[in-house]
Amino acid sequence: MEEIGREVFDAFPDWVRIAFYSSAAVAILVFVLGVWFRGRNYLKARKAGRWNHLLSRVARAIANITLRRSRIRKDDPFAGLAHDFLLWGFLVLFLGTLILTVDEDFSKPLLGVSFLNGTTYLWYSLFLDVFGVLFVVGLGMMIYRRVRGTVPRLSFREQEVGQGLRVDRFIMDDWLFLALLLLAGIAGFAVEGVRILRDGTSFPQEWSPIGVALASTFAALGLSEEAAFTLHMGLWWLHAAGALALIAYIPFSKAFHVFAGFGSLVFSDDRAGRRLDAPTLTEPTGFRQVSDFTWAQLLQLDACVRCGRCHEVCPAQASGLPLSPRGLILQLRSFVGSHRANGGTAFVGSGIDAESVWSCATCLACMDACPLEIEHIPLLIEMRRYLVSRGEMDQGLETALTSLGRYGNSFRKPARERKGWTKRVPSTIKDATRAPVEYLWFVGDYASFDPRCQTVTARTAAVFLRLGLDFGILGEGERNAGNDVRRVGEEGLFEALRDGNVELLKDCTFRDIVTTDPHTYNTLKNEYPAPNGGRVLHYTELLDELLRSGRLRPSKKLPYRVTYHDPCYLGRYNGVYDAPRDVLKALGVELVEMARSGPNSFCCGAGGGRVWMTEADGGKKRPADLRVAEAAALNGVRTLVVACPKDYVMFTDAVKAAGLAERLEVRDIIELVEEAL
């Protein structure tokens, strides 16, 4: 078996070897310069503090790749298969080239031995043949998808990415990348085919099935051995040129995501968006220019493959608002690479409109959809911080913030009115600031003040009382928890609200905190100091616990066919999907899921302070309008169940506005629980 193997340059004159190595040196030099050109900004960027637990970060990145790939396979099996073929094919071919290089250029000249022969070479040959086919088929599938244009998110329109970006360049880059890959792949097989036609194989044909099949095809097409001899060198150069051009092109193309994407996954923050960091930049607060980015953020910008998954799920985009999460990332990346970066130009107002920054409902759908875990929300919040520090904000938002600063709520109501809803409850509710309680109920602004929510809040209290829960409220001492205040970029006010609440909570004796508001729930759970060691519960989690312990026993089955809306801050932010569904199941209702449910739920549009902003006419329907239409379209469903006061308000309004009141009723889950009791 020792003679089995292959000489890379065997049949070629010496100048081929010299020309190849010279070309390879140029390609590698261009690659290194390109990487330097992109990477030099990282060296100048601010620290990110993400070098901790490096090994577990790498393990998590690998696990996330697996998880996300299986999600892609489930959502779009064709794309999943094409990606799998392409990825595995590419990795094996890349490894094969690396092994060949080590054998040819290091082991043979330096040690005088070749390890790529005998049985090793047979397996090497077979692996490269099989994975080479997968690679070419995967590429073909990708090209087919693009040519057919059946995936709208892959097509770009100028207005989706914002001013100044050349969409035609993105499209050209995509095609050039695919063309170079295809050239290298197909030419590689053709070289193998004509070589086998010319020389035959020194080993059984099944170890090189594709090469042998191609050689037979060429022979059947009338290609003589002499012609194969001449053709071999031409094809060999074509293959080499495709591969070397690809190497040189990587840092300037989408292909760079192979490196930046893995880096992005390794250095991502798995709590990003859920827990915001306090601003590290002051005067002005927030991000204004390129030098404000950390290296991890620059790496994430470079990782974007323009797949448009974030764009496709964005409720702002669906409502015709001028925000595309993909456009945002591409704008920022273009900024980093352009001369504007050096001039210290502010990006808001120069490619990125303030209006687009304010359009985000912080629903987390973009970050959840992004296969490379790019963190859009923290970037948007930093830009909002900058705008807020300059007083550049919507009138409605300004009014809400002023009210929050003065009264601790966004409703411009004096603190004593916070308990107003308790008048609707027949029994007295304990004051948790005066007496110890098992559950401290952090009621929140909307549940306390909005007239549409107050009835639901009173019903929640009635259910709690009926179940004999030992609970109490903070009363007039409670302030807005600050989740959305933080997300509009008003960090100072957030801290004041949080500190006031924390002071109050310190003097209370309780076991757990419970709230009906997912926004409040998120910030209490993720951004407040641990409340006396107790848990923070959403009321659906508490109801689920009470059901399991037998303390909540529905006395009848409800004969409704309902659908349930997952609030973003409960589901995507905190992974609470089962508790509300288990409660509904226990009530006996028939739950029909909307197409967008669970982690794919569609935002109502109220988050991130959008509820306070003057609604701009996006030209299309608002997210809440789209959502109620989705619920109303479900066969036989007449009830849209919600578990969030803001959802209750948004959807009640949307149902009225759409004239769907006869067709669809919005009900809080507690109303169903009360009915079943």
Nearest to 64 by CA among 379, 375, 273, 370: 370
Shortest distance, position 174 Cβ to ligand SF4, whole Å: 12
Residue 115 or 170: the one with the smaller Cβ distance to ligand SF4 is: 170
Before 554, cis peptide (omega within 30)? no
d(CA 569, CA 481): 14
Residues from 348 through 387 that contact ligand SF4 (CB under 6 A) = 360-366, 369-370, 372, 374, 376-377
Shortest distance, position 316 Cβ to ligand SF4, whole Å: 4
**Beta bridge pairs of residue 471:** 439
Tell me phi and psi for residue 63, to 5 degrees: -65, -40
Residue 231 or 303: the one with the smaller Cβ distance to ligand SF4 is: 303
Residue 294 or 362: the one with the smaller Cβ distance to ligand SF4 is: 362
Q: Give the pairing type, strands 439-441 and 512-515.
A: parallel
Considering CB under 6 A, how many residues would be counted as binding ligand SF4?
28
Q: Residues 368, 320: contact at Cβ < 8 Å?
A: no
SS3 label, residue 11: coil
d(CA 346, CA 383): 10
Burial of 507 (0-12, 13-18, 19+ CB in 10 A): exposed
In degrees, rounded to 5, the angle at the alpha carbon of residue 277 between the alpha carbons of residues 574 and 259 is 85
Shortest distance, position 231 Cβ to ligand SF4, whole Å: 41
d(CA 456, CA 449): 11
Shortest distance, position 286 Cβ to ligand SF4, whole Å: 17
SS3 label, residue 396: helix
Shortest distance, position 483 Cβ to ligand SF4, whole Å: 14
- Binding segment toward ligand SF4, per CB under 6 A, in 77-85, 122-130, 238-246, 302-310: 302-310
Write out the H or E segment, with its range, that includes residue 576: none
DSSP, res 421: G
Residue 482 or 607: the one with the smaller Cβ distance to ligand SF4 is: 607
Residue 240 or 323: the one with the smaller Cβ distance to ligand SF4 is: 323
Q: Which of 185, 308, 571, 580 forms a contact with ligand SF4 (CB under 6 A)? A: 308
Shortest distance, position 613 Cβ to ligand SF4, whole Å: 13
Residue 352 or 366: the one with the smaller Cβ distance to ligand SF4 is: 366
SS3 label, residue 69: helix
Token digits of residue 435: 């007496």
d(CA 628, CA 650): 10
Q: Residues 589, 558: contact at Cβ < 8 Å?
A: yes
Residue 72 or 461: the one with the smaller Cβ distance to ligand SF4 is: 72
d(CA 329, CA 661): 40
Shortest distance, position 305 Cβ to ligand SF4, whole Å: 5
Token digits of residue 238: 């074509």
Token digits of residue 520: 């409040």
Shortest distance, position 276 Cβ to ligand SF4, whole Å: 13
Tell me phi and psi for residue 490, to 5 degrees: -95, 75
Q: Which of 195, 306, 384, 565 forms a contact with ligand SF4 (CB under 6 A)? A: 306
Shortest distance, position 523 Cβ to ligand SF4, whole Å: 16
Q: Which of 6, 274, 309, 581 forms a contact with ligand SF4 (CB under 6 A)? A: 309
d(CA 52, CA 63): 18
**Beta bridge pairs of residue 515:** 538
Residue 305 or 497: the one with the smaller Cβ distance to ligand SF4 is: 305
Placement of tokens 């995936």 in the chain: 151
Residues from 313 through 332 that contact ligand SF4 (CB under 6 A) = 313-316, 323, 325-326, 329
Residues from 397 through 416 that contact ligand SF4 (CB under 6 A) = none
d(CA 565, CA 571): 10
- Binding segment toward ligand SF4, per CB under 6 A, in 52-60, 71-79, 213-221, 303-311: 303-311
Shortest distance, position 610 Cβ to ligand SF4, whole Å: 8
Residues from 281 through 300 that contact ligand SF4 (CB under 6 A) = none
- Binding segment toward ligand SF4, per CB under 6 A, in 111-119, 309-317, 630-638, 652-660: 309-317
Length of the chain, in residues = 677
Residue 192 or 368: the one with the smaller Cβ distance to ligand SF4 is: 368
Residue 333 or 667: the one with the smaller Cβ distance to ligand SF4 is: 333
Residue 329 or 463: the one with the smaller Cβ distance to ligand SF4 is: 329
d(CA 567, CA 524): 16
Shortest distance, position 605 Cβ to ligand SF4, whole Å: 8
Residue 310 or 397: the one with the smaller Cβ distance to ligand SF4 is: 310
Tell me, rounded to whole angstroms, the distance of Cα 641 from its chain centroid.
Answer: 26
Distances (CA, A) of 147 to 83, 140, 143, 623: 17, 10, 6, 31
Placement of tokens 């967008």 in the chain: 596
Distances (CA, A) of 327 to 119, 307, 396: 51, 11, 26
Q: Residues 668, 648: contact at Cβ < 8 Å?
A: yes
Residue 129 or 375: the one with the smaller Cβ distance to ligand SF4 is: 375
d(CA 445, CA 411): 8
Distances (CA, A) of 254 to 32, 466, 651: 16, 60, 41
Shortest distance, position 606 Cβ to ligand SF4, whole Å: 11
Q: Which of 61, 197, 310, 400 forms a contact with ligand SF4 (CB under 6 A)? A: 310
Write out the H or E segment, with its range, that includes residue 439: strand 439-441
Residue 519 or 667: the one with the smaller Cβ distance to ligand SF4 is: 519
**Euclidean distance between the first and the last CA atom of the chain, given in angstroms as a whole number:** 81
Residues from 447 through 506 that contact ligand SF4 (CB under 6 A) = none
Shortest distance, position 148 Cβ to ligand SF4, whole Å: 20
Non-local CB neighbours of 173 within 8 Å, separated by 6+ positions: 253, 254
Residue 272 or 642: the one with the smaller Cβ distance to ligand SF4 is: 272
Shortest distance, position 597 Cβ to ligand SF4, whole Å: 16
Shortest distance, position 314 Cβ to ligand SF4, whole Å: 3
Shortest distance, position 364 Cβ to ligand SF4, whole Å: 6
d(CA 306, CA 372): 11
Residue 366 or 631: the one with the smaller Cβ distance to ligand SF4 is: 366
Residue 288 or 326: the one with the smaller Cβ distance to ligand SF4 is: 326
Shortest distance, position 630 Cβ to ligand SF4, whole Å: 17
Report if residue 197 touches ligand SF4, rule: CB under 6 A: no
Q: Which of 72, 196, 305, 649 forms a contact with ligand SF4 (CB under 6 A)? A: 305
- Binding segment toward ligand SF4, per CB under 6 A, in 128-136, 226-234, 304-312, 488-496: 304-312
Q: Which of 307, 401, 461, 604 forms a contact with ligand SF4 (CB under 6 A)? A: 307
Instruction: Name the site residues for ligand SF4 (rule: CB under 6 A).
Output: 304-310, 313-316, 323, 325-326, 329, 360-366, 369-370, 372, 374, 376-377
